[in-house]
A and B are shown apart, each in its own frame.
Chain A
């Protein structure tokens, strides 16, 4: 029933590098370097907290070992990996809720 939607999502994932054409950073999402050059200093809190956690694929860039994917390939890879994870977690969470619901019904 949802086959058409799956194809649409796949198309979005494959077309995602179009999102790289827009050059620049979203407002308020600059890293320390960008702030240093625009402000002349990096606020202490940003310096302190911005790097405390290193993401697996920071900013949708992918490098495994010494091999780094091109920006576009990394973006598509991230789109697919992210989609699979989000789909799986959403399914798990909602299935868990429904299992709960069924239990309640049985108990009644």
Chain B
């Protein structure tokens, strides 16, 4: 899901970068007031976890590969705004040091994996699992669903970004300038990979890791980023 440079037009990259600027601002504002100093290492470890889990490519039936992201886990444990920061740092190093995801496409990749994904996971989990007893079946089911749904929504976002390119940007003779495939190719391809394989992997990773974190009695971020707390300040 790491879009390389050249697949999206510079204008697409600029738009998504412009969308991410207030998201990062909001995230840093939220963290400034709600982040507990004792949880700083946990946030950094979350970023590392996400980076490492993205190295595990899994095969897709059509011959491509995909990978989990860990966005839902970070959103559930750290809160969605902390997850935005942690995932953005991981994606930044991937793009800069390893060429995994473009530098120009950084806004697009963070939009999909560091904004859409953690928030989709967070709200899915909040909807299905809020108030569940720690370790209860309902909580773990909610964690699985959060992982599955969040990575699929992020994949859909990437598919839409890819797919609009040949509609919007072609050379004078009609040949595509950037991603050559339209929605009819990008959506089935991205969704096949994530609905069948990567979504399940993300779901299980969210479930298993959350179980370990609950076992270690680390409080989850769900309560910590509630509205009242920010209003207190």
Contacts and interface: CB of A to CB of B under 8 A. Distances in A.
A85 B214 CA distance: 27
Contacts of B31: 94, 97
Main secondary structure of the interface of A (DSSP, over half): helix
B3 interface: yes
B28 A23 contact: no
Contact of A19 (B56, B89, B171): B56
A79 B45 contact: no
Interface residues of B, number: 71
B52 A97 contact: no
Interface string B170-206: 0100011111100000100110010000000000000
B48 A9 contact: yes
B115 to A, nearest CB: 17
Contact of A98 (B6, B37, B179): B37
Contacts of A21: 57, 59
A94 B45 contact: no
Contact of A57 (B45, B98, B190, B193): B98
B90 A86 contact: yes
Tier of interface size on chain A:
35 or more
Given A25-B64, A28-B158, A90-B86, A20 B100 contact: no
B222 interface: no
A94 B85 contact: yes
B97 A82 contact: yes
Contacts of B178: 43, 45-46
Nearest to A23: B59
A20 B41 contact: no
A48 B177 CA distance: 10
B22 interface: no
A5 B41 CA distance: 11
Given A46-B6, A60-B55, A86-B44, A26 B177 contact: no
A2 B38 CA distance: 11
Nearest to A9: B48
Interface of A: 2, 4-6, 8-9, 12-13, 16, 18-29, 31, 35, 39, 41, 43-50, 52-60, 75, 78-79, 81-83, 85-87, 89-91, 93-95, 97-98, 100-101, 104
Nearest 10 A-B pairs (CB), nearest first?
A55-B99, A46-B6, A49-B6, A90-B44, A19-B56, A22-B59, A50-B6, A45-B178, A12-B52, A22-B57
